[in-house]
Chains A and B, each alone.
Chain A
């Protein structure tokens, strides 16, 4: 049973560019959440997708957008990259988001130069 998988694992971009990160949830899970973890900090909630809709959003600008596909996989898009967007982006899946039990992927480490 595959867990949560994310791609790419590492990537380097320059300021102003755009990036797309991908996530496949754990088998049987239909809810995907995205978190940003800056170095030395705890994960910060970006948004959550369920039934292909954004269900809840954290305090992130509109440059951060996402999508969920019918197979429950998800993408995170960040436009007009800033140096401060450098972080580990974690995808987490859950069967029932109201219970809170999240399973995290290994993350995508984004470096913005």
Chain B
């Protein structure tokens, strides 16, 4: 089955700096890669996603890049703000469809 690895597990940045979170996946047939933000005690919320036919996608301060050959994808947050502090999860939808496999999460802390 699919295996998703995520790094780093914790990330601390100064307000205004950029943050990068990286994930690798194992199933070359995976075709959909979402990123979720989860605040303490809340549900995961989709913040951006990318499909396998696209190399990069941007939405205001966040962007995701995908390298299918290397089987890795990354989340980039620019001009970080304190409200960006949360746990971020990457995920991959396997070639068999239907189920998302999640990474282990990155605790992002944006310090003033």
Contact A90 B44, beta carbon cutoff 8 Å: yes
Question: How distant is B25 from chain A, measured CB to nearest CB, in Å?
Answer: 13
Query: Which residues 89-113 in A have Cβ within 8 Å of B in the complex?
Result: 90, 97-107
Alpha-carbon separation in the docked complex, A56 to B97 (Å)? 10
Contact A101 B104, beta carbon cutoff 8 Å: no
Question: How distant is A109 from chain B, measured CB to nearest CB, in Å?
Answer: 9
Contact A56 B45, beta carbon cutoff 8 Å: no
A-B contact pairs, 26 of them (CB 8 A): A33-B98, A33-B99, A33-B100, A41-B104, A41-B105, A42-B6, A42-B89, A42-B102, A42-B104, A43-B44, A44-B102, A55-B98, A56-B99, A90-B44, A97-B98, A100-B31, A100-B34, A100-B49, A100-B100, A101-B49, A102-B34, A102-B46, A104-B45, A105-B43, A106-B43, A107-B43
Alpha-carbon separation in the docked complex, A90 to B43 (Å)? 8
Instruction: Give the size of the chain B interface in residues (CB under 8 angstroms).
Output: 23
Given A33-B99, A100-B31, A105-B43, 6 new contacts (CB under 8 A): A42-B6, A44-B102, A56-B98, A100-B34, A100-B49, A104-B45
B6, B44, B46, B98 pick with most chain A CB within 10 angstroms: B98
Question: How distant is A100 from chain B, measured CB to nearest CB, in Å?
Answer: 4
Closest 3 CB pairs of A and B: A42-B102, A100-B32, A100-B93
User: What is the chain B residue whose CB lies nearest that of A44?
Assistant: B102
Residues of A within 8 A of B93 (CB): 100
A16 adjacent to chain B (CB < 8 Å):
no
Alpha-carbon separation in the docked complex, A43 to B105 (Å)? 10
Contact B104 A56, beta carbon cutoff 8 Å: no
A48 adjacent to chain B (CB < 8 Å):
yes
Contact B98 A98, beta carbon cutoff 8 Å: yes
Residues of B within 8 A of A8 (CB): none
User: What is the chain A residue whose CB lies nearest that of B89?
Assistant: A42
Contact B105 A42, beta carbon cutoff 8 Å: yes
Residues of A within 8 A of B43 (CB): 90, 104-107
